[in-house]
A and B are shown apart, each in its own frame.
Chain A
């Protein structure tokens, strides 16, 4: 079209195009890209908002690596993500396959309900569940005692607190994952299943060779977004556990927040952000490479 003649349509057209992009560019640079770069720069300084910054070299990084509570928090976050992400994916895969059952009516109603926690704010959900998890009069222990299962001190026992966070996270985010899987299942060609049935494939074979294969885009997108979602877990820790008991739920986003706004150690907080950002970047890169190689 006319646009393709870039040489003739010259500098002026490009300038007009660019003017339309500039507002978005400014917002995203100033409020996302620049803070991350600024944080990288400040991670080499002792940051003091009032009296100015002093250069420290790599000291912030070294002191973070030598801080056992920081390493524990970082590893704890990786562990948390490694547990909660596969569980959410398995759970939503199961539910979405059930929702995709061809004789099922009202599947939209169920989808609507399952997605509800996702559109509700974390702070509200965290505070409701904080009450529910109370060991004396919480609903969760109530249900457990009805089912004759052992009751737990959900928010005070270091061995179970993280599992409470995991459970609530799946409860909240499951709806999003289910939507992605359902949308993906709907574009699977039904002819594939019919052909497989003619060839005498049973349910397991059909699932393994057709469904799982066709769901590759959904797996990719849920892994990517799930990694970002879970690695940044903050509000539920802030509002429900405060990192307690004994630092068992002290996930990295919350730990970094505490470094900055409770210890006012902005230098180390910024070093921590460099670690987080680098970690997320590397994981996403590896996932992308893995998926592209298998195609």
Chain B
């Protein structure tokens, strides 16, 4: 008994040190980026010690104010573009997928199996693969270099539809049948019964789609031609290719991009993880 207790403590120590070590490797680049964005001189970036960056010397917000004064492309416009494209594309995606998933999961739609297969199979056409022809399609539709083009291209992600479909499948039929018998219309059922029930799954879908849209790179890259349509991601890539922006500023922009999404993620961690896993496991 005693031996197995020591064995347990020993293995726990081993496991914790392994997990902490991995956590440091995962966390270090993020901390480094934040510290680099706060440094006033380049010295710490070129330091020969990996801990140099964490010294609280020469710390301040000058990089942030310098970034806001850049005129081409302006930070504020890029931030607004990022927020608008990701919020609106999330709304479009989740609203469309909500109705489609509900109909396919709870009603006998003719060709429903085929439609579901179609939606799921678009997963094998990721943004990076579809980018080149999407560019040509956007040109022919006159949507190139417009908000609508970026937003709609970002909205065609079917993971949300799968998450919602899986959830609707688990809602008992009887609830819907009972409300039909009480004389409820289709819209009544959707908004008064299904929507409140499905709220947790809808929330997961919203979060996952928001993260995807916020982090999208290739679609804004091909469809935003004017600087006035650049998102923060494109701005970061643009800065990294110009000589007049120093590396601290690039890391400052990186921090601005990353902090909101990490905060959203940590606050809603359970929902995000639930969404990601119900979208895949539990066949």
Contact = CB atoms under 8 A, between A and B. Distances in A.
B133 A35 contact: yes
A27 B108 contact: no
A128 B254 CA distance: 9
A20 B158 contact: no
A225 B28 CA distance: 27
A25 interface: yes
B126 interface: yes
A225 B281 CA distance: 12
Nearest to A23: B96
Contacts of B273: 111, 115, 179
A20 B100 contact: yes
A123 interface: yes
A257 B177 contact: no
Interface string B87-124: 00000110111011011100111100001001100111
B104 A137 contact: no
Given A20-B100, A123-B233, A187 B135 contact: no
A125 B33 CA distance: 10
Interface stretch (A63-71, A153-161, A205-213, A266-274): A266-274
Contacts of A180: 276-277, 280-281
Among A27, A112, A239, A261, max chain B CB count under 10 A is at A27
Contacts of A184: 281
B136 A38 contact: yes
Nearest to A125: B29
A115 B96 CA distance: 28
A176 B276 contact: yes
Contact of B49 (A111, A115, A142, A270): A142
A270 B180 CA distance: 50
A55 B143 CA distance: 26
Interface of A is mostly: helix
B276 A129 contact: no
B243 to A, nearest CB: 15
B55 interface: no
Interface string A1-38: 11110100000001011101101110110111111101
A258 to B, nearest CB: 10
Contact of A1 (B32, B122, B177, B254): B177
Contacts, number: 254
Nearest to A242: B241
B2 interface: no
A2 B122 CA distance: 32
Interface in B165-203: 173, 176-177, 180, 186
B79 interface: no
A137 B23 contact: no
B133 A14 contact: no
A18 to B, nearest CB: 7
B22 A114 contact: yes
B59 interface: no
A79 to B, nearest CB: 18
3 smallest CB-CB distances across A and B, nearest first, come from A39-B133, A121-B215, A24-B100
21 contacts: A4-B108, A14-B109, A21-B109, A24-B119, A27-B92, A98-B18, A110-B22, A113-B27, A115-B273, A117-B26, A119-B215, A119-B262, A120-B262, A121-B233, A123-B237, A128-B251, A142-B49, A183-B281, A228-B123, A253-B129, A260-B135
Interface of B: 8, 11-12, 15, 18-19, 22-23, 25-30, 32-33, 45-50, 92-93, 95-97, 99-100, 102-104, 107-110, 115, 118-119, 122-137, 139, 141, 152-153, 155-156, 158, 161, 173, 176-177, 180, 186, 211, 214-215, 217-218, 222, 233, 236-237, 240, 247, 250-251, 254, 257-258, 261-262, 265-266, 269, 272-273, 276-277, 280-283
Interface of A: 1-4, 6, 14, 16-18, 20-21, 23-25, 27-28, 30-36, 38-39, 42, 47, 49, 95, 98-99, 101, 103-104, 108, 110-117, 119-125, 127-129, 131-132, 137, 139, 142-143, 146, 171, 175-176, 179-180, 183-184, 187, 217-218, 221, 225, 228, 232-235, 238-239, 253, 256-257, 259-261, 266, 269-270, 273, 276-277, 280-281, 284
